[in-house]
Structure 1
Amino acid sequence: MVSQIQHYQSIPAKKNVQQENSIPKAWQIVPERFQNATSVMDAPLACGLLNEAEFKITSDYDATALLEQLKAGVWSAEQVTDAFCKRAAIAQQLVN
């Protein structure tokens, strides 16, 4: 019975390591950077991984408005993709 419990406890530990290894080091959150945030909604900007443009891209536009910004050349597809990938990495780390 004990070996089964240990086995079940090792599964989440392995998954946490796998998750950590799948997120680029540059996109990993340093908890001290946002520990004073008053809401999880503050974390994407407070953690320091997103610059203001990336935060704006991922917060202020729906898909249609974002497409207009891409067409107008305000942002490149690469900038938008990086912003959303970073935001997803932040979310994954926050909610595990």
Structure 2
Amino acid sequence: MSNESDRNEGAAEEMGGKLKKGLGKLLGDEQMEAEGRAKELKGRVQQEDAKADERARGALEEAAGAIKNRIGKLVDNEQMAAEGKAKELRGEDRQKANQ
């Protein structure tokens, strides 16, 4: 399953939990309310897990790009250095987008 679908599934789980929790509160059903809260938290955890995975992928992409950039500069290959820098920046953006 992709991280995007994990995040979407987590958001849906969280929303379903909020609804169940609210309905349990409205009906005075403590068990339903607790189940809703648990479902809500499960959804949040799932979303955070997907974001952490994306941050890790971004860090790897950033590191690989930095290495390629430095090697490109070392061997005086401007294209390689530019590609590395672009990859490094994509990695940074990926990490920032998943904070």
TM-score normalised to structure 1 length: 0.33
Please tell me whether Structure 1 or Structure 2 has the larger radius of gyration of its CA atoms.
2
Higher helix share goes to which structure?
Answer: 2
Q: Which has the higher contact order (CA 8 A, sep 6+)?
A: 1
